[in-house]
Amino acid sequence: MTIQVGDRIPSTPLVKVTEEGPEQIGSDEYFAGRKIALFSVPGAFTPTCSAKHLPGFVEKAADLEAKGVDEIACTAVNDAFVMGAWGKASGVDGKVTMLADGNGTFAKAVGLEMDGSGFGLGTRGKRYSMIVNDGVVEQLHVEAPGQFEVSSADYLLARL
């Protein structure tokens, strides 16, 4: 079942990409006591994700912070090393935290997984954005397949 506004983020493991390397962190700990703008992409280094989705959040980081967002996080069903390399190549420079969901545990727990096997991707996370405040979903914007409209930084920013 897909997570809804008002629901608490389920307890799952995530891997946070840091300068010192991958850091295992639980979603309970990560989302506690802060307002997080979380967005999900089907895959690192994929066309829309690299050309529009991640760069939009990097560009709007200060604007989101000014609206009360404590941290911006990007998640994908990729390993921490791929997420780290993508973050470096995209110039996230501390503006976006890269969260690896290598086994798709988080995507499945929130009910936002997708079947990308037709493209050789296996099970991935859908494209979406959400605002999570102290572990509770305040906003959720899930894209229709093949679309990029409601999960953008601009769309989220306009609703804060």
Catalytic residues: 49
Q: Coil, strand or helix: which one is 104?
A: coil
d(CA 48, CA 26): 28
Which amino acid is it at 35? K
Kindly give the pairing relationship between strand 97-100 and strand 71-76.
parallel
Count of CB atoms within 10 A of residue 34's CB?
13
Q: Which of 43, 63, 40 minimizes the C-alpha distance to 158? A: 63
